[in-house]
Amino acid sequence: MDFGNTAQLQLILPDGVTFSSASGEFLQSVPEPASLSLVAVGIAALLLRRRRD
């Protein structure tokens, strides 16, 4: 017999409002490697285009 669950916390704020946490850690996760790779590809494309121009 299995019982299992996962939970995701989310803080929903009005526009322009931000927050800080006592731990300094809450919901401060860095982008995943896949996201970082996409950003790197984007920067590389921009640099290439600038060089061509």
Partner 1 sequence: MRVLRAFLPRMKTRTLALALLLTGATLQSAYAITSNPIDPNLPLTTHASVLCGTGSNVTGAASASCFKADEVDGTSLPLQVVIGASDARADLLTGTLRAKATSQTLNDGVNLLRQGGLASATLYDTITILNIPLNQSVPVELRMTVHGAFTLDPASPFGAGGQMSDVLRGFTDQGLFGASGIRIFSGNAGTAFVDSSNSLGTGRITNNSVNGTFEDGADLEAESSVTFLATASAPTFSFTSQLFVDSAV
Residues at the site binding partner 1, with contacts judged by CB under 8 A: 1-14, 16-23, 25-29
Residues 9, 27 contacting (CB under 8 angstroms)? yes
In the complex, minimum distance from the CB of residue 35 to partner 1, in angstroms, rounded to a whole number: 14
Shorter beta-carbon distance to partner 1: residue 5 or 34: 5
Torsion angle, alpha carbons of 31, 32, 37, 43, to 10: 0
| Cα 30 to Cα 32: distance, rounded to the nearest angstrom | 6
Shorter beta-carbon distance to partner 1: residue 12 or 50: 12
Shorter beta-carbon distance to partner 1: residue 15 or 53: 15
